[in-house]
Structure 1
């Protein structure tokens, strides 16, 4: 699709505020009022926050609900290849005519007032959701929780908080308790919350806020357990035990994400079909995604290509744990990162798993870390590193030296999106 109408409107929306991120709800409330408050007419909402795993957890909840025949709206961010990925209406990506219509309506209703790109596009998603019948609405927090543009629904049926760790400190606070406080901002009075694995100091903050609001918590290792056993996933809560296949999303961290999704589905009253679908049918690109087809695999047919958009220390640890479980094979990384990220914290867990790393700058991203600085950080972390002008060039370098290697392209969702577009 060349130059769709939505692209032009989205470009205009980028100019409505000088900052990409400016956390407050005032502008969102103003525009929602001008639109007739579509957030009050959404199908029952499940609101998901967290530093890591919220997208995978949402994907599993959606797969589970759809496995029972439910129609599910889903709002996620950022998109990888095209904006339409952010808005899923009753199971289907929003169409170009529908997207253009709601974007145009929001742009007109905003009247040229200052509003961030994420805020106005979130309002557009609410407008689309309110006008399309469905059984549930899944909302993924964009950043934080308390002041995120999605946090305008007074009475969700359920909230979920996946693992909280250090990330986006410039917006959410420098300490884990501060960041947990922002994530816990999605808790609502008397509304139950599923809580994934947490550091003790983060859990203390979540529990304290829940107590003030009378919000019942279903906490990992207190109210539910999920673990791998004999090549299967075991889930247990007060209702009993489930014996399920391992998640189709690869990586040991997906066991706990699946646990949070199953806890959510059990709370919603979903049955056996939903439980099985949650772990066998979930789809979430750029999370340890194997690239088997397309121009990139074709350019180096001996390489085993993987793609992951993780970009913080917790993601680095999760990727390292996944690599440790894969069959032994010389493994390289091609990595590009943003200049706002903890590069050393991401790289350090990978050091024992990589033969080498080729650093690249992320094409088209003003905030990209120069490839030379990424390479220097990798070297300091104990990974032999050099640079290449592009992902394609990096793959060619690796193929020439190690033609049957495993290659992980990683470090940023923006890099992952660039790769998926190039490999389409």
Structure 2
């Protein structure tokens, strides 16, 4: 078995279904039955859906549970550098031999039946979780919720719905209400749900479904509150008040994500020390991540370089708001996006924050938005823009004209993954 055997299996899996995304549970349920229903043998599940903040919230929940000594499985997507990042077994990234074994087994049991890449790899992850002792399983929804491949747990211990915004409209619906309906599809009868800050339209949809199912809701602004006070995070619910150091993950939006994580942890009677550790120990790459080594740093010595994979208007607002809080420094964007995203909506918040933007393609992605289209959208948003063939060339050009600048590499998790592979 070579170190890359899992990559060969994953490539074979891509040929099993012609569509990258095709939302249904039929194929997943068929394969899980073939695998003797691993989804029924998992440690207690916390299932997380939403548009923004899913990964960060899950990372903080995991850090808090592990701080109290629990062993935690975690399933997240997409990966950045290697597929192994998607599956944590009892706290550790899955090893190559174990990953190859479960992928081989899932592929063999599926045979030639049609199934998407995400569906079959989710089944493989659930198989690994069922066979490895742990105290918890954290599942991040891939897309939507109602028909997502992770939505096969009949009775999770808890669900979490992070802020809902417009994204993936081609699959989830054109309105906030339609998208919220898909996200709320993870609610289960009688199972508690922590709900993060929401637009009124989304909240109404969530509350209506919860009422039909008898699912208790723990709502931001009603059952729990989180604020920033003098640089501290102050959280309050019916159990009392926590005054904690701010989240390790940078950005004002992480206070809201931390609030959701704390609400979940407090439901399971997690102590204050573990709650503090949830904020202090969580790691989640490509979310306002400061790069300190690698080719892009070498290309611009003295520059301050950040990386973020956010790609929708809500993420753009959050990133721009964080940049506005940093010490004054000329700021430039290097942006590559997919053609399925709202590029204008993402870039609009950066007007007045950034000096200029350099548009690049997302390497290796057929759905990359042409740099010219990104540049035109930036100009329409009030950002001077140019084009470049790749990130390294763009960074070098910015450094040549503005040495010591702040440079944000942004627009896509796939772009972030390519940068981190080189960074590593």
Scaled by the length of structure 1, what TM-score is found? 0.99
Indicate whether 1:210 and 2:207 are aligned. no
Asked whether the equivalents of residues 336 and 361 of structure 1 are also in contact (C-alpha less than 8 Å), the reply is yes
RMSD: 0.9
Indicate whether 1:325 and 2:325 are aligned. yes
Report the Cα distance in structure 2 between the residues aligned to 1:46 and 1:114, rounded to whole angstroms: 29
Matches within 5 A, 1:181-196: 181-196=181-196
Matches within 5 A, 1:43-54: 43-54=43-54
Report the Cα distance in structure 2 between the residues aligned to 1:229 and 1:348, rounded to whole angstroms: 29
Matches within 5 A, 1:75-86: 75-86=75-86
Structure-1 residue corresponding to 2:391: 391
Structure-2 residue corresponding to 1:87: 87
Asked whether the equivalents of residues 302 and 399 of structure 1 are also in contact (C-alpha less than 8 Å), the reply is no
Structure-2 residue corresponding to 1:348: 348
Report the Cα distance in structure 1 between the residues aligned to 2:368 and 2:231, rounded to whole angstroms: 40
Asked whether the equivalents of residues 295 and 392 of structure 2 are also in contact (C-alpha less than 8 Å), the reply is no
The CA deviation at 1:3 is 5.7
Matches within 5 A, 1:340-379: 340-379=340-379
Report the Cα distance in structure 2 between the residues aligned to 1:78 and 1:61, rounded to whole angstroms: 19
Structure-2 residue corresponding to 1:37: 37
Structure-2 residue corresponding to 1:61: 61
Structure-2 residue corresponding to 1:160: 160
* 1:219-258: CA deviation from partner (whole Å, max 9, x where unpaired): 0000000010011000000111000000010000000000
Asked whether the equivalents of residues 57 and 258 of structure 1 are also in contact (C-alpha less than 8 Å), the reply is yes
The structure 1 segments of at least 4 consecutive aligned residues displaced by more than 4 Å after TM superposition are: none
Tell me the SS of whatever aligns to 2:212.
helix
The CA deviation at 1:268 is 1.1
Structure-1 residue corresponding to 2:283: 283
Structure-2 residue corresponding to 1:301: 301
Asked whether the equivalents of residues 330 and 405 of structure 1 are also in contact (C-alpha less than 8 Å), the reply is yes
Matches within 5 A, 1:130-279: 130-279=130-279
Report the Cα distance in structure 1 between the residues aligned to 2:15 and 2:365, rounded to whole angstroms: 17
The CA deviation at 1:417 is 0.3
Paired residue total: 424
Report the Cα distance in structure 2 between the residues aligned to 1:72 and 1:269, rounded to whole angstroms: 16
Report the Cα distance in structure 2 between the residues aligned to 1:203 and 1:2, rounded to whole angstroms: 49
Report the Cα distance in structure 2 between the residues aligned to 1:271 and 1:194, rounded to whole angstroms: 18
Report the Cα distance in structure 1 between the residues aligned to 2:274 and 2:159, rounded to whole angstroms: 18
- Which shifted more, 361-370 or 288-297? 288-297
Consecutive unaligned residues in structure 2, runs of 5 or more:
none
After superposition, the Cα gap between the structure-2 partners of 1:2 and 1:108, relative to the gap in structure 1 and judged at 3 Å, is closer
